[in-house]
Amino acid sequence: MTSDETDTAVAPLEDTTTFVLVEPSHAGNVGAAARAIKVMGFGRLVLVRPRAPEVHLGAEAMARASGAADVLEAARRVDTLAEALQGATLACATAMTPRDFGPPTRAPREALPAAAAAGHRVAFVFGPERTGLANDDVYRCHLCLSIPTHPDYGSLNLGQAVQLIAYDWRQALGGFAVRSRTPEQRWADAAAVLGLLEHWQETLVRIGFLDPAAPKKLLPRLNQLANRARLTEEEVHILRGIARAAADAARGAAGGADVGADMNRRPRSHEG
């Protein structure tokens, strides 16, 4: 590992969060859930009475996990929700269906910051794909989380729901810094921009776009344009290369005797 890689590596986090899938039936959804929690820095997955005992270890689950096979391999299988919730100090059901009674319903971003500040060991509980959580499972939880969706269509895939909850929980815990995917830009200094403008001036005169005897405000306008663009050093090199190529093309097009004729022809100044 290089020193640069060491500087940007993410330190291991204490994982006290559990994601609980009750009676999952689709291997692809289980794999997608594993991927969703891993990208947010979590790894504890518990399956309660999965429809197939090895649903999380099949080829489809592994493929949908896309690099989160370790989460699937470490996943626990239990028979009851009570077993899955052992150690949790705050159990959060995820449910869209209104209940006659039960825990209060809150949006994740409304409720989770307080849970993070309190230092809770949180368990997020997700129901079966077709039916959602049973009432008895919801009643075991301290809080019901409802992801705000369009009122006319609130259907979320299990993997999508896990991803949204995992993201909001990670943000409540402090989130991860965004790392730049491109090298840091080296901005051109004033001297480099001045050199570019002088190069442009020479080329514009050569191609007949600028009359040096009556330049008006063309160069100051180009100077303002360059300042607004906040040119990088590489962009200055590119623009000077274009000016050089334009001047060479004009010189080649003029040719022999035509060059003398062009030099005697007074160019017009343009405001651009």
**Would you state the pLDDT for residue 89?**
95
Q: Is residue 53 scored above 90 in pLDDT?
A: no
Closest CA to 84 of 47, 53, 54, 129: 47
| Domains parsed from the chain with CATH numbers | 16-173 (3.40.1280.10), 190-264 (1.10.8)
Cα 229 off chain centre by: 25
**Would you state the pLDDT for residue 10?**
41
Contact 90, 103 (CB under 8 A): no
**Would you state the pLDDT for residue 255?**
66
**Would you state the pLDDT for residue 130?**
82
Residue 46's SS3 state is: strand
Q: Across residues 84-89, what is the average pLDDT?
A: 94
More reliable by pLDDT, 70 or 212 = 70
Q: What span, in angstroms and rounded, lies between the C-alpha atoms of 254 and 256?
A: 7
Closest CA to 133 of 189, 91, 176: 91
**Would you state the pLDDT for residue 145?**
94
**Would you state the pLDDT for residue 252?**
81
pLDDT in tens, 217-269: 888 899 999 989 999 999 999 999 999 999 888 888 776 445 444 444 445 55
Q: Is residue 9 scored above 50 in pLDDT?
A: no
Beta strands across the sheet bearing 76-78: 76-78, 44-48, 18-22, 122-126, 90-94, 143-145, 105-106
Task: Name, in order, each residue with C-beta under 8 angstroms of 176's C-beta and a sequence gap of 6 or more.
Answer: 10, 41, 170
Contact 101, 138 (CB under 8 A): no
Q: Across residues 77-100, what is the average pLDDT?
A: 87
Tokens of 37: 């929690």
Tokens of 254: 């003029």
What mean pLDDT, rounded, does the chain reach?
A: 85
**DSSP β-bridge partners for residue 94:** 145
Q: Is residue 143 scored above 80 in pLDDT?
A: yes
106 CB-contact burial (10 Å; exposed 0-12 / middle 13-18 / buried 19+) = middle
Q: Across residues 71-94, what is the average pLDDT?
A: 94
Q: Is residue 199 scored above 50 in pLDDT?
A: yes
Read off the pLDDT band of 210 (50, 70, 90). confident
153 CB-contact burial (10 Å; exposed 0-12 / middle 13-18 / buried 19+) = exposed
